[in-house]
Amino acid sequence: MSRSLKQKNINYLELGTRVLSKLYAAGITNIDELISRCKREILFIAGIGNVSLDEIEAALDKVSLKLESDPYGKLVCARHNRERNDTRLKTFILCSDCASEYQINALHNTSPVLEMQLSGGPYHCSHCNELRNLSMFQWYVCDVCERVLKSIGRGIAANKGVIEWWESQRGLDPTLPRIVNTDPPVLRAIGAGSDEDNLDFEWVDDNGRTLFGTEVKTGRNRLIGGSIGARMTRFQLDVSDIVAVLNAMEKDTPFTPAYLFHCQVVDLPRPPTTQFECVGIWWTALADLIDNIEEIKHRPREFRPAAYINKDTFEIIDSFVQEIHNTGYTNCPDPATLRSELESKMP
Ligand SMILES: [Zn+2]
Ligand SMILES: [Zn+2]
């Protein structure tokens, strides 16, 4: 914008005499003085309310000018793409591939506020967890989005753990069905929608026919037979997660038999980041999981009800190979039956 425009008297703008007189009274005479104020400061002027503020903003808009942004105001979360009370400057340590994935898939193509290459390395990228050269990136995001973004790396590690384990079994016995990662963990922006009705993995026979599928849950704690970390007393799962599995089962005709895996992923400090390691996998058939729900209740401060499941329904992953050899998945009841059993457990 030209210097001369900013130095013009505010009566150059399309403003009513009432608003002009209030601005003059506040000591604002030229356009430059006006646009150095933020909305909050304009509203602080005696006699200026929201209607007058709208008039000022519209007049400035006509000459392609804007009021200053408020340094004490709410910040825009790059993932929500709108102002949020808890938006703050957040730091992520990533490889360049993951940083552009963040920017394009999750952050409405917002460039990082700061990018600073880390010397030394390679280090574990906190998203893909591969050993790479890393940089420190900063974006304005809210607390919720920071938590979501930083949790996906653990999900990626869990998926990797499942694939590596199954491939090692297939190495020993090539007649086992092939595994397909049908719903890999991906970054998404708020409002981007999702295809949540896929199971995380499906196993297919030589003809490409889906035999059964698995939903993967990731946690820090262990079940029977593990030695690392704390032992779970009960397995906890949102009821909506169980319903999502039932929906996914119904996507194919007649339906896809489903299992649930619990992957124990632990954090190993590898400064400046963390290595995620999948140290244990447990399995249960979905029918057994629903059968072993001991209680469904609302947790404090949580909106969605959770199912508390007897941990003994889970088995160490080794026995899953025998389950598949025995075609145990053909015993899976249809989703409608499972749905009514789930409903009978609701409080
Ligand atoms: Zn990465
Ligand atoms: Zn957000």
Q: What is the mean pLDDT of residues 168-196?
A: 88
What spacing in Å lies between the alpha carbon of 280 and ligand 1's midpoint? 23
pLDDT at residue 252, as a whole number: 86
Let me know: does 272 contact 133? Beta carbons within 8 Å.
no
pLDDT at 196: 62
Mean pLDDT of the chain: 95
Q: What percent of the chain has pLDDT over 90?
A: 90
pLDDT in the model for residue 194: 62
The model's pLDDT over 221-237, given as tens digits with 9 standing for 90+, comes to 999 998 999 999 999 99
Domain termination site, one of 122, 141, 160: 141
List the beta bridge partners of residue 260: 215, 284
Cα-to-centroid distance, 133 and ligand 1 (Å): 9
CB-based burial label for 196 (10 Å; 0-12, 13-18, 19+): exposed
CATH number of the domain to which 56 belongs: 1.10.150.20
For residues 320 and 341, state if they share a domain.
Answer: yes
Q: Is residue 205 part of a domain?
A: yes
pLDDT, tens digit (0-9, with 9 covering 90-100), for 252-301: 889 999 999 999 999 999 999 999 999 999 999 999 999 999 999 988 77
pLDDT tens column, 203-220: 999 999 999 999 999 999
The residue segments making up the domain with residue 106 are 75-141
Please tell me the distance between residue 277's alpha carbon and the centre of ligand 1 in angstroms: 15
pLDDT at 347 over 90: no
What is the CA(200)–ligand 2 centre distance, in A?
Answer: 25
User: Within a domain: residue 103?
Assistant: yes
Quote the ligand 1 centre to 104 CA distance (angstroms).
14
Assess whether pLDDT exceeds 60 at residue 161.
Answer: yes
Ligand 1 centre and the CA of 219: distance in Å? Answer: 21
In a domain, 213, yes or no: yes
Q: What is the 93 CA–ligand 1 centroid distance (Å)?
A: 9
Comparing 98-107, 143-152, 190-199, the range with the smallest average pLDDT is 190-199
pLDDT in the model for residue 230: 93
The residue ranking higher by pLDDT, 186 or 44, is 44
- Report how far ligand 1's centroid is from the alpha carbon of 197 (Å): 26
Model confidence at 2: pLDDT above 70 = no
The answer on 174 and 128 residing in a single domain is: no
Query: Is the same domain home to 162 and 303?
Result: yes
* Distance between CA atoms of residues 50 and 53, nearest Å: 5
Please indicate, yes or no, if residue 179 is contained in any of the structural domains.
yes
Domain count, the chain: 3
Which ligand has the minimum distance to the alpha carbon of residue 127?
A: 1
pLDDT in tens, 238-262: 999 999 999 999 998 899 999 999 9
82, 211: one domain: no
Shared-domain flag, residues 194 and 100: no
SS (H, E, C) the chain: CCHHHHHCEHHHCCCCHHHHHHHHHCCCCEHHHHHCCEHHHHHCCCCCCHHHHHHHHHHHHHCCCCCECCCCCCEEECCCCEEECCCEEEEEEECHHHHHHHHHHHCCCCCCCEEEECCCCCEECCCCCCEECCEEEEEEECHHHHHHHHHHHHHHHHHHHHHHHHHHHHHHCCCCCEEEECCCCCCCCCCCCCCCCCCCEEEECCCCCEEEEEEEEEECCECCCCCCCCECCEEEEEHHHHHHHHHHHCCCCCCCCEEEEEEEEEEEEECCEEEEEEEEEEEEEHHHHHHCEEEEEECCCCCCEEEEEEHHHCEEHHHHHHHHHCCHHHHCCCHHHHHHHHHHHCC
- Report, as an integer, the average pLDDT of 137-152: 96
The pLDDT of residue 298 is: 86
Q: Which residues surround ligand 1, an ion (CB under 5 A)?
A: 95, 98, 125, 127-128
What is the 132 CA–ligand 1 centroid distance (Å)?
A: 7
pLDDT band at 193 (very low <50, low <70, confident <90, very high): low
Ligand in nearest proximity to the CA of 90: 2
Per-residue confidence at 302, pLDDT binned at 50, 70, 90?
A: confident
Name which residue leads in pLDDT, 206 or 193. 206
- pLDDT average, residue stretch 191-211: 86
Q: Which ligand is nearest to the CA of 108?
A: 2
Output the CA 77–ligand 2 centroid distance in Å: 5
* Smallest-distance ligand from the CA of 147: 2
Which ligand is nearest the CA of 85, by number?
2
Distance 297 CA to ligand 2 centre (A): 28
pLDDT digits (tens, 9 = 90+) for 30-86: 999 999 999 999 999 999 999 999 999 999 999 999 999 999 999 999 999 999 999
**Same-domain check for residues 172 and 124:** no
